[in-house]
A and B are shown apart, each in its own frame.
Chain A
């Protein structure tokens, strides 16, 4: 089973973990604000590689962090007058149906497959940034 949140840590371990979470959050926040994404491309691999998360657990926890990050960044953009609320709802509300389907589908595939698909997404995203 997945490791639970409340397993015992000694103080040094807990502190190191908090520093890694802070580094992960700072990198994700910058990425999110700069590129208009949630920051999941930063959070998911770091939770797996640095913090020992399983693939599904990393993607679930990433979504919770993204909700906070995207809300903050959207408000900050709102202060610059960049928000188009109607267009945001037009694309975001259908995506809510998509995310329900996507999380259900994810429970039926092997966890390693999620890592491989994620790696491919990163390569595609990197190519997109270079050739833009």
Chain B
């Protein structure tokens, strides 16, 4: 169990660094299927695991010149009410409808990103 968790942890961290995410998309299923936590406990524990990953990742990206610290802190600080509400909701509601609507949203965003990637002049100026 420990070996699987460590390997998935390293992979999730690489994904986090490449894509600017926390790694929770891999942490949560790993904590459910390998460790045997419930869905909500896995989500809570995933959030705890994300903290050091995001801190070190942000520090590395700062060294590479890819961090706008002021706007990053603004987004994070303004996310606090949403995060606390989300935690309260997931502890109270059946999550199926929310899961499906978010899946639809993700597909739409993926479509927008693929279109943006085909026009590389937009979004960055390297």
Assembly CA distance A76 to B42 (angstroms) = 14
**Distance from B75 Cβ to chain A, minimum over Cβ atoms (Å):** 4
Contact count band on A: 35 or more
Mark interface residues in A90-132 (1 if CB within 8 Å of B CB, else 0): 1111111111111111110001101111111111011111101
CB distance from A44 to the nearest CB of B (A): 5
Given contacts A2-B66, A115-B117, contact A29 B82 (CB under 8 A): yes
Instruction: Please report the C-alpha to C-alpha distance between residue A64 and residue B77 in the assembled complex, in whole angstroms.
Output: 10
Flag if A34 contacts B79 (CB, 8 Å).
Answer: no
Query: How many residues does chain B have at the interface if contact means C-beta atoms less than 8 Å apart?
Result: 101
Contacts of B107 in A (CB 8 A): 122-123, 126
User: Is the CB–CB distance between B123 and A48 below 8 Å?
Assistant: yes
Q: Mark B32-45, 1 if CB is under 8 A from A, else 0.
A: 00010100111111
Are A74 and B113 neighbours in the complex by a CB distance under 8 Å?
no
> Would you give the 0/1 interface string for B12-33, flagging 1 where the beta carbon is closer than 8 Å to chain A?
1111111111111101111100
A95 x B12 contact (CB < 8 A): yes
Q: Which residue in chain A gives the minimum CB-CB distance to B8?
A: A91
B residues with a Cβ closer than 8 A to A are 2, 5-25, 27-31, 35, 37, 40-58, 60-62, 64-91, 95, 98-100, 102-104, 106-107, 109-114, 116-117, 120, 123-126
